[in-house]
Amino acid sequence: MNVVIIVAAGKGARMGVDKLWLEVDGIPILGHTWRALDTIAEIDRIIIVARDERHQAIDQLAGEIQVSKPYELVLGGAERQDSVWNGLEACPESCEIVAIHDAARPCVHPDMVRDCLKEAYRYGAVVVGRKITDTIKRADDSQSIESTVDREGLWAAQTPQVLRLNLIRKAVERVRLAKKVFTDDTAACEYAGIPVKIVPSDYPNPKVTYPDDLPYVSWLLANQSRGV
């Protein structure tokens, strides 16, 4: 069984509003993300980790976007890794592979998820990534440049991050016991000594972070079916 955990428990601190409920083309960001994942035949079940006060609205959203796969709502935690842990604990015993995805990435492409699932069965732990092509600068607290970073071998990690359930449980449990805090699931794997493979993505997969991200996301969603 393959399960997707949609992490939707954040508070949108950078935007000052709950960005997952901002509408793009009449549908909340979360709705676009959920609907994209719901269309993937290889996914059997969806778990959404969210704050308690959003559960009723999520149930209502399920009807509005007409999801077909069984889903379960789980309470979010204080940190992202706590929310992920709650999602992992809700996975059924028959689950072998779990894909962890940020709700704020609504342009997730089904083919990208399928590629990750295939690689996760082979390697155990994979993450979607794109090579860094911009020039990277390191700056101090006053935003004065200190140095230029060699971008050779640098990748921007995205989601989904797709892993065998037993591996990610081991990794997150070890991080929690050590009282470490990571914002990335595969960083927990690295800490636990679990190898992670990057799956290069050919599809735009932006994370909604600032208000001016919304027009770009709207354009991508409108053109995705035409191979953008």
**3-class DSSP state of 116:** helix
Cβ atoms within 10 Å of 181's Cβ, excluding its own:
14
Q: What is the pLDDT of residue 18?
A: 87
Print pLDDT tens along the chain (228 aa).
999 999 999 765 556 678 999 999 999 999 999 999 999 999 999 999 999 999 999 999 999 999 999 999 999 998 899 999 999 999 999 999 999 999 999 999 999 999 999 999 999 999 999 999 999 999 999 999 999 999 999 999 999 999 999 999 999 999 999 999 998 899 999 999 999 999 998 899 999 998 889 999 999 999 876 443
Cβ atoms within 10 Å of 143's Cβ, excluding its own:
7
Q: What is the pLDDT of residue 15?
A: 60
Q: What is the pLDDT of residue 224?
A: 78
Q: What is the pLDDT of residue 226?
A: 41
Q: What is the pLDDT of residue 227?
A: 41
CA 6 from centroid of its chain's CA atoms: 7
Q: What is the pTM of this model?
A: 0.93
Q: What is the pLDDT of residue 225?
A: 61
Question: Cβ(9)–Cβ(49) under 8 Å?
Answer: yes
Question: Cβ(26)–Cβ(61) under 8 Å?
Answer: no
Helical H runs in the chain? 29-38, 55-65, 80-89, 110-123, 165-177, 185-191, 214-223
**3-class DSSP state of 102:** strand
Q: What is the pLDDT of residue 91?
A: 97
